[in-house]
A and B are shown apart, each in its own frame.
Chain A
Amino acid sequence: MPITPMEVYKLLPKTNCKKCGETTCMSFAFKLINREKTLEECTPLFEEQKYSKQFESLQKLLEPLKNATETGLIVDENLCVGCANCVVVCPVHASEDPHGTGYGLGPTIEDPILRIEDGVVKVINMMKCRRYGKNRVLCVACRENCPSDAIRFLEG
């Protein structure tokens, strides 16, 4: 299940107290998902007893964030069957390695973004991904072609 800012917002204090440095709780929720802020910066959640239940649910909700890569990619190896659809379909792979992954074979370049290792997909080099860095493109080619949901992105 994707983590949406609205879901996070519902569990925040919703008082717009500005203690975290943000104007509203909603903008804090956005930045929380983009990992520009951490949950610890919302001090009322810790200090006030009435928020303790919400705090626990939030921690549970944001658990996948810890495993996500810089581009927001989450790989669940238990669901992966190693079909390599994601490896072949990746537009970066197709342009950099047209005779390897672009042609359906295993990667011939040393540092592909994704690679099938021991039968499951592994993230090798996230820096090459189109979603990485400031001028990112929200490409979802790998997720689109993963029917078992082994590949997900934070935004859904």
Chain B
Amino acid sequence: MITCAGCSCLCTDIVFRNGKIFNACRRGAGIFLNRDANRAKPMVDREEVKFDRAVEKAIEIISSSENLAIYGLDTVSLEAQKIAIEIAEKKRAYIDDNSSYCLGDFIRLILEKKVPTTTLDEVKNNAYVLFYWGTDPYHSLSRHLSRYTYYPRGGKRQRGYEEDRFLIVADVRKSHTAMLAKKNSRFIEVEDDVELVNAFIDTMDGKATKYSEVTARIIKEMKKGGFGVIFGGLGLRYGLKGNYDLFVEMINRMNEFSEVYFMPAGCHPNMRGFNELMFQKTGEINRYSFEYTESKPEFEFSKLLMNDTVDTAVIIGTDPLNSLPFEVARKLNQIDTVVIDPRASLTSKIAKVMIPSSISGVEQGGTMIRVDGVRIDINPLIENDFERTDEGILKTILEGI
């Protein structure tokens, strides 16, 4: 049994036999099957060099930088993240990950204990109402429904999805997940998420709203089932427009008559791990500066680039040139970049130093934190040399600077 570190589901039941991958979804299987495709080579100034030379050059650049930013880290193990945070602390650098524009705000609500949360194993055994809000797990977390939530028969829920689960999908369009909402389920076509949150609060107050029919039914089902979970995705994160207090109020009101938990759905494999490490160390979860010892929206990686605050960026396991807006990504070309990534990406093409690392779950193990806060030991397909793993590379850099 090996672990797939493709998304935040972190499936531990993947089997590799006779060159075939069993049980992994298409996305996960792709990571294992194409493990040799498009691999990165150690490079300095876009010329191929020996691995040790690339690491030496990286140490040189990082040592001489005055305003360093470390970015990425969501696909590497907790051990590697810990060392990266140490490097940031030693260099008094900025550190940020994808959670600043992904689901970081939801993780913050959970870590600050503002909303009640639970684990996916509890959901499998007890949950009745499953509410997917602003997310399409059929594509983003393919095995979420079949492995953890809607379909499995477990614990108190032995009669299958048609009788023992109540599925609600709220989205702006009829997504593939919404097509699964057939019998004993509801699909809500949302125009405004804040309006829907208000509709729930109004229904609990006994007032009529535009969504009355559906919200009243959901609240009735929550009372009946006694265990409900709301999975919030990026649609909800941006749809709330920062009105988190209202959302927290809604969940707390629901908890007066039933158990309703909240869980983010859809993020990078170890994003929560990074957020938890930062939270333990600093009390903040992301966009942190060890120079000013505080977290600010201006310390978000894209803002740092836009404002020309940093002169060097260490990018670990992500491809900002591909994912960030072009205006922002263009600035990456003007500063020194050290990229640590197993595969050649667009960012690696403009990098000053490219250090090839290992793929989590394929060549390197470690620990990761699943989206519900459970620690998962990554069981890789093969073990690479320690020096070639993210943890090893970052350790050498930490010792060198």
| Chain A interface residues (CB < 8 Å from chain B) | 80-85, 87-89, 94, 98, 102-107, 115-120, 144-145, 147-148
Contacts and interface: CB of A to CB of B under 8 A. Distances in A.
Contacts of A115: 22-23
Contacts of B14: 106
A118 B147 contact: no
A115 B14 CA distance: 12
A88 B26 contact: no
- Dominant SS among interface residues on chain A: loop
- Which 10 residue pairs are nearest across A and B when measured between Cβ atoms? A119-B29, A104-B152, A106-B23, A119-B26, A82-B25, A147-B179, A147-B176, A82-B26, A83-B142, A88-B151
A82 B151 contact: no
B182 A98 contact: no
Contacts of A117: 20-22
B153 A147 contact: no
A80 B138 CA distance: 11
A103 B152 contact: yes
Interface in B344-381: none
B23 A145 contact: no
A85 B26 contact: no
Contacts, number: 100
14 contacts: A82-B29, A82-B143, A89-B146, A89-B151, A103-B124, A103-B152, A106-B22, A118-B20, A118-B29, A119-B24, A119-B28, A119-B33, A144-B182, A148-B176
Contact of B22 (A81, A104, A116): A116
Contacts of B30: 119
B154 A103 contact: yes
Contact of B146 (A88, A107, A119, A144): A88
Contacts of B253: none
A81 B154 contact: no
B294 interface: no
B146 A84 contact: yes
B160 interface: yes
Interface in B122-139: 124, 138-139
A117 B14 CA distance: 10
A145 B151 contact: yes
B20 A145 contact: no
Nearest to A80: B26
Interface string B132-166: 00000011001101111001111000001100000
Contact of A147 (B21, B29, B148, B177): B177
A104 B27 contact: no
